[in-house]
Amino acid sequence: MQGSKCGVLCAYVSLWRMLTFPLQSFFMSFRFEIEATDGKARAGRFFTPHGAVQTPVFMPVGTLGTVKGVSQDVLEELGVEILLNNTYHLYLRPGVEMVRSLGGVQKFMAWDKPILTDSGGFQVFSLSDLRKVTEEGVAFRSHLDGSSHMFTPESAIAAEIGLGADIIMAFDECTEHPADYARSRGSMEMTLRWLQRSKDYFEAHKEEVPWFGRQLSVASGQLPVNSKPDPSTGKRTVPLQDRNAGDRWGDRGPSTPVAGAAASAQDDNGGEIYAPILSQKKGKDGAPRSSSPLRNYVEPGQTQALFGIVQGGMYPDLRRESAQRTVEIDLPGYAIGGLSVGEPRPLTYEMVDAAMPYLPADKPRYLMGVGTPEEIVHYVAQGVDMMDCVLPTRAARHGLLFTSEGKISIKTARYAKDDGPLDPKCGCKVCGRYSRAYLRHLYASNELLAQVLNTVHNLAYYLDTMKAVRQAILLGEFATFLSGVRPPHLSVP
């Protein structure tokens, strides 16, 4: 019951902090707390300018600012707390300056929760014949139109600052597999040099994030502020004729003074701006949809969190060295990259084990680009806090569905007359409404709804798996939970 006791203690500590420290302490740019541990597994949460995220967490991939086939309201219903966007793809289309001019990725895609952006390094290096790597950076040709571009650590970070995600990744070189020792060491050394350049540029330009300026970022967008103070109060007001404002702040008329809990800031002219911390948007039950001040209000002065990436190929000593030297460049969090690139899965676990002891226990650990539902459970057992993967969405589009009974290829004829739910143990709305026969019919008919429903289910399965893992850690029962995780999708050690 060690995890349970830790969870209770951490809850009391959190309450004490809320009562002891002033409100502005809760608007720190990034903060990570561990609530419970069970073996190497950890349950916690981190706080970003756009909200809090419970860990361990699986992050759905919205490469181009969208999780393919799933709208943002459905993602919210599924309980998604953070998304991943890709800098390379958004850089090419619609362009960083376009997103910046529209207030950053959160406002652009109408998503008021945290976002993490990959630097684009993996995508650039996957171009193979379309790129050239030098010490300066990577010259590459667009996969869209063949146009020439250059990513350096500085330009990649500039793009990520312009996009405005809460967590951004340093520019790294993802070592191909297989690669010999000399090649892996050279790549690791370059990644370390690029990390320092990434941090130097970030520290010099972090205030350029597009959350502020003439507009105050509130809820999912930056709402324009009345240029004239209210003559009776001297306080500035939020004009609600803006599309997002009307949706967020209820039915009050234009330029109505904001009521309720308020937070003040300074506009460009030095005037005081007042905006509510609590969202007034109502859910189906009539209650406010959110009461999280961190999600709905970005306090002026906050910045993004830059994470470093451990590389080293498939050599344990290089992974250890990379982790040690990466941590020397003090950052809010660290990732392990360059895995799940074609190597045998036991080798992946070995590389994670090699790096993990050298990553700080008080900072989040992010394993990039993994894996199956069973794998992510085992990675949590190794001490990983964050994961992402395209597998649940990509597999769904190809009719491959994850269930408590194993993988199901819904396209096969055996399901043509099956009137049972996709997964009788799953509580998602797909399993609660549609039969396997209907899902097979949609896929066989090439209906777009097939991809949508398949994706919703797969995401729900991944997210529910991670919720169960977190709960087991909090209760101190993770070892028992892990022992019951069979590998129906992929063999694990």
d(CA 264, CA 242): 20
CA 6, CA 37: separation in Å to the nearest integer?
7
Catalytic residue positions? 118, 388
Cα separation, 238 vs 257, in Å, equals: 7
Give dist(CA 226, CA 224) in Å, integer: 7
State the sign of the Cα–Cα–Cα–Cα dihedral 177, 178, 182, 185. positive
Distances 488 to 402, 454, 459 between C-alpha atoms, Å: 9, 19, 18
DSSP bridge pairs for 294: none
